[in-house]
Amino acid sequence: MRVLPAAPSIEGLTAVVTGGSRGLGLLMARQLLRRRCDVVLLARDEAELGRAVGKLRQWGGGTVRAVVCDVRDRAAVQDRLAEIARDHNRLDIVIANAGIIQVGPADALGSDGFEEAMDSVFNGALNTALAALPHLRRSPAGGRLALVGSVGGLLAVPHLLPYSCAKSAVAALAEGLHAEEAPHGVTVTAVHPGLMRTGSHVHALFGGDRRREYAWFSALAGAPVLSMNAERAAERIVTALQRRRPRIVLTPAARLGATAHGLAPVTTTRLVSAVARVLPRNGARGTVDGSTVAAGEKPPARHLRGVLGALNERAADRFNQR
């Protein structure tokens, strides 16, 4: 059995996590703190950031603080990262994690849904990367940048098309920047998770037949075999970043799907088309967040969702999603 050498220490480095106030972002920040980094969380909601900092300080490790910032605002991202680099006299690690998830048929989500996904997911990653790179190039430790994509960016997922399109652009950005930044001593890690039990169904946006869309998404996102423990996912992502890996794909199902699509794209597309036939059809235009659907629209299959989604519901409570 091959034994990997110990990952290089990142103790004392300054790290920024966008979308760091809840879910996977919060857990990646926790992993950085465990490695004794000085961590700065970026997110839009000040109250949510305050709760996140409180949780992280209870968990212990390095230092942590929060900065309110909307990654869709290019100038704001540039200003905030410059301030962080100045305050800490360095910027060594940046994880671009912020984004949204929209669930529903493409015609129900409409062109606005695609524009919103590109603005939040892709433009957010792009703004973060371009603002961070000048500082990362000056890092004495050699800068590290991670762009969080998704298996949905490697294999288009029905009823998640705006999300898949935006994450596909993030995948291309990460791969291209990895090549271009190598001469500057900066490594770029493309992160492609599959389903993780982060409690993300609470903040996901649902369109079309919202009740049924919420039912299938919340059940699958929490299914023990298909989804991954989010704390384990965060640990693997930060380790990959620490080791300067160019790419990581998480969950066996995600790796299988991405590999199958690469080797047999026509067959894979036909299989995905068969899956799409059983998903909900029609429904209202526009979107509503998951907590609103769960509270007011009484999604079907309550007992099945209760069984499959139990771990995900607990994750929502633990990882600042409520």
pLDDT by residue (tens digit) across 103-160? 999 999 999 999 999 999 999 999 999 999 999 999 999 999 999 999 999 999 999 9
Predicted local distance difference test score (pLDDT) of residue 122:
98
Q: Quick one: pLDDT band at residue 225, thresholds 50, 70, 90?
A: confident
For residue 37, what are the contacts with CB-CB under 8 A and spacing of at least 6?
10, 11, 12, 13, 14, 15, 61, 62, 92, 93
What's the CATH number for 14-319?
Answer: 3.40.50.720
The total number of residues shown for the chain amounts to 322
Q: Count other Cβ atoms within 10 Å, centred on residue 7.
A: 14
Task: Say if residues 322 and 202 touch (Cβ distance below 8 Å).
Answer: yes
Q: Is residue 14 predicted with pLDDT exceeding 90?
A: yes
Average pLDDT in the chain? 93
Predicted local distance difference test score (pLDDT) of residue 164:
97
Give the residue-averaged pLDDT of 217-243. 93
Whether 163 is catalytic is yes
Among residues 42, 60, 34, the alpha carbon closest in space to that of 239 is found at 34
Q: Is the dihedral of CA 40, 45, 51, 55 positive or negative?
A: negative
Choosing from 122, 163, 206, 214, which is the catalytic residue?
A: 163
Q: Is residue 201 predicted with pLDDT exceeding 80?
A: yes
Among residues 308, 159, 314, the alpha carbon closest in space to that of 219 is found at 308
Domain parsing of the chain, residue ranges: 14-319
Task: Say if residues 157 and 217 touch (Cβ distance below 8 Å).
Answer: no
Q: Is residue 5 predicted with pLDDT exceeding 80?
A: no
Predicted local distance difference test score (pLDDT) of residue 20:
96
Predicted local distance difference test score (pLDDT) of residue 58:
86
Where is mean pLDDT largest: 169-178, 197-206, 276-285? Answer: 169-178
Give the pLDDT confidence of 19-73 residue by residue, as tens digits: 999 999 999 999 999 999 999 999 999 999 999 999 999 877 779 999 999 999 9
Give the residue-averaged pLDDT of 213-217. 92
Helices assigned H by DSSP within the chain:
23-34, 46-59, 74-88, 106-117, 123-137, 161-181, 210-222, 230-242, 252-263, 265-276, 290-296, 302-308, 310-318
Q: Which has more pLDDT, 321 or 67?
A: 67
The neighbouring-strand residues paired with 289 are 205
Predicted local distance difference test score (pLDDT) of residue 284:
78
